[in-house]
Amino acid sequence: MKTSAEKISPEEYILAALSPEERLEAAFRIAREAFRGTTLKLADVEAAVSKVRRKHYAARGKKTARGR
């Protein structure tokens, strides 16, 4: 007999159970701990975010171009 249930990781389940505000607060707490003691500036973080988004959208564009 086939099961229709998908496997969900505990991390995804925990995030799904939180409200959007609680998710944002959890993300800020994690980031605060991860970057504690570093000398990063806002410009460094913004540059990293731009780089990741650029790579993500470039890879995403390649996938949709193949499907056409």
Domain boundaries, the chain: 10-67
Q: In which residue are the tokens 């540059």 written?
A: 47
How many helices and strands in the chain, by DSSP H and E? 3, 0
- Integer angstrom CA distances of residue 3 from 6, 7, 12: 8, 10, 20
* CB atoms inside a 10 Å sphere around CB 21: 8
Q: Using one digit for the tens of pLDDT, what is the confidence trace for 7-40?
A: 777 777 777 788 888 888 888 888 888 888 889 8
State yes or no: pLDDT of 4 exceeds 70: no
What's the whole-model pTM score?
A: 0.45
What is the predicted pLDDT for the residue at 55? 86
